[in-house]
Amino acid sequence: MLRFTAILIAVCATVGLGSASATPRMPATATATPVFSGGAGARTLPRITISVPSTLRWTSSGPAFLLITDTALGGSVSSQAASGATYLKPGAYTLSLKAWAAWTIRIVAGVERPRPLGGGLIGFRGNGSRELPPFTTLRGTNLVWTNTGALFSVDSGLWTLRISSKAQHGKRSMGRGTHAFVVNASGTWTIGWKP
């Protein structure tokens, strides 16, 4: 964690955060992670290098938040929620965003883990579009999903699982192994499975 933080701080210092049209700040903790913040409008942040699998956490006080990466590594976000997260694979990123009000971005080493969803299911919750971290199932099971919007899709990128639906809920068979999904939705959603 400290090595990741040191690399990220060095990269940010090298490119000059003042030119990012965003206000960087450091939380008052011993293991501080750089935080970017700003107001309404479009911004491009300084190029960053992620050396370990990480989670980008964001907040927004506006009606929508859009984050686009310049790489095929993923990590983009499109949401109407007040906060959320997306998975970042190791690699170099330039993050461009559009916000309609105040926002923050914080990148932390490590990945989200599936959480209990009720009914014996574990999985992830979200709003809009985001990338999920890889997770492993030890047996074949059903992927169960819900969505409040008019569009819901899941893509594994490897054709191991693909969903595209206008329904509010459904399920799809999911084999055992490691899975990595990109979720695109127009509402608030859950995806879960029985461990």
Residue 94 structure tokens = 């330039």
pTM beyond 0.85:
no
Instruction: Single out the residue of 187, 192, 180, 23 nearest to residue 86, CA to CA.
Output: 180
d(CA 195, CA 138): 7
| Residue partners of 72: CB distance under 8 A and separation at least 6 | none
Whose tokens are 């409040």? That residue is 148
Collapsing DSSP to helix, strand or coil, 75 comes out as coil
* Residue-level pLDDT, tens digit, the chain, 195 residues: 333 333 333 333 333 332 233 333 333 333 346 689 999 999 999 999 999 999 999 999 999 999 999 888 889 999 999 999 999 999 999 999 999 999 999 999 999 999 999 999 999 999 999 999 999 999 999 999 999 999 999 998 766 788 999 999 999 999 899 999 999 999 999 999 998
